[in-house]
Amino acid sequence: MARKNQTLGEFIIENQSAFPYSSGELSRLINSIRLAAKVVNHEVNKAGLVDITGAYGETNIQGEDQQKLDVYANNKFIQTLTNREIVCGIASEENDEFITIEGCNKDHKNKYVVLMDPLDGSSNIDVNVSVGTIFSVYRRITPIGTPVKKEDFLQPGNQQVAAGYIIYGTSTMLVYTTGHGVNGFTLNPALGSWYLSHPDMYFPEDGKIYSINEGNYVHFPQGVKDYIKYCQEEKDDRPYTSRYIGSMVSDIHRNMIKGGIFMYPSISQAPNGKLRLLYECNPIAFITEQAGGKASDGFKRIMDIQPTELHERTPFFCGSKNMVEKAEEFMRKGKN
């Protein structure tokens, strides 16, 4: 039973028996993520005081300019997970290919792989807007005792055993699920400990917020344009309020607490959308469904998509169940 203000460590120990195939390994993995998050949080809070903001000078596999904090966060999470010899493989949005972890465990006995977006919304760090980390955990499907292969990472989201995000904002929070609901922990920077502050997080079935980059309106599919018009109508409990931060973790976090929908549809220049299925959409979808919400590509469940590429992209609609279903309704009408 979750108790408000208990530490993350206490919570993990008390709930370890609920983890599938529990052996303590997944608990240690979550502990490693919370440690790396504290280190990254410390660096994020120094932005503007040290030379950590701005572009790194290289592009990632997505063709996007890497920010200095992208590289820093990526290195810290990989380093922490590797040094603890808990996972057998890591895939990151910032790396072209997955990383095989051997370390001292030459027999490849570890069972889990981690996929992550080490710093979501990093372009906002220069202007002091909240950013985040997203992570996803799977059990490997290739035989234990052999090096990991790409198929260990190309699993549909419905095979996740854990997923979460860290939001670095006015307070720093770690929100995660292992398939038994969603709980949020807030970092006490004075003590360096995480405390359960948001037990049993849940999306309201309806909401009054829609989050989308309306600057791309002319490039949206017709169904999205029609849904936006629906949101803006003065009718019943509408118009809804438009709120778009541009850091997905921040938008999702706000909408889970207040009720709303986040949308990043396909656009004419990016027919497959922009967001990455494995590093962003699947983990957020797992959290959303565990919190009573819904996540879709506009037509079908995100977590049922079979990935074919490490850096695959997809349109993304996520949030309060009734709002997502209404958006899907408009998408189907727009396709006819």
Residues 177 and 289 in one domain: no
CB 108 within 8 A of CB 86: no
* pLDDT recorded at residue 124: 78
Residue 152 included in any domain: yes
229 a known binding residue?
A: no
122 a known binding residue?
A: yes
Quote the CA–CA distance of 269 and 291 in Å, as a whole number.
Answer: 33
Residues of the chain with pLDDT under 50: 49-52, 54, 56-57, 104-105
* pLDDT recorded at residue 128: 77
What are the start-end ranges of the H helices in 259-309?
282-290
Q: Which residues contact 214 (CB under 8 A, 6 or more apart)?
A: 228, 242, 244
* pLDDT recorded at residue 83: 85
214 a known binding residue?
A: no
Quote the CA–CA distance of 293 and 209 in Å, as a whole number.
Answer: 14
226 a known binding residue?
A: no
Residues 151 and 12 in one domain: yes
117 a known binding residue?
A: yes
138 a known binding residue?
A: no
227 a known binding residue?
A: no
State whether residue 60 is helix, strand or coil.
coil
119 a known binding residue?
A: yes
* pLDDT recorded at residue 54: 47
Write the CATH number for 172: 3.30.540.10
Q: State the CB neighbour count (10 A cutoff) for residue 134.
A: 27
Strands (E), the chain: 55-59, 65-67, 87-92, 99-100, 112-120, 131-139, 160-168, 172-177, 183-188, 193-198, 209-211, 241-242, 260-264, 294-296, 316-319
State the residue range of the domain holding 263: 209-335
Domain limit, last residue, from 138, 167, 198: 198
Q: What is the DSSP letter of 313?
A: B
* pLDDT recorded at residue 2: 64
* pLDDT recorded at residue 48: 53
110 a known binding residue?
A: no
Residues 181 and 79 in one domain: yes
Q: Based on the structure, what is the number of domains in the chain?
A: 2
Dihedral sign (CA 266, 213, 131, 262): negative
Residues 38 and 97 in one domain: yes
242 a known binding residue?
A: no
State whether residue 305 is helix, strand or coil.
coil
Residues 239 and 126 in one domain: no
Q: Please tell me the total number of residues recorded for the chain in this structure.
A: 336
* pLDDT recorded at residue 59: 58
Residues 15 and 119 in one domain: yes
121 a known binding residue?
A: yes
Domain limit, last residue, from 198, 225, 241: 198
Residues 32 and 149 in one domain: yes
Q: How large is the angle between the packed helices 222-232 and 321-335, nearest 10 degrees?
A: 130
Q: State the CB neighbour count (10 A cutoff) for residue 327.
A: 27
* pLDDT recorded at residue 121: 84
Q: Give a three-class secondary structure readout of 215-272.
A: HHHHHCCHHHHHHHHHHHCCCCCCCCEECCCCCHHHHHHHHHHHCEEEEECCECCECC
Residues 108 and 225 in one domain: no
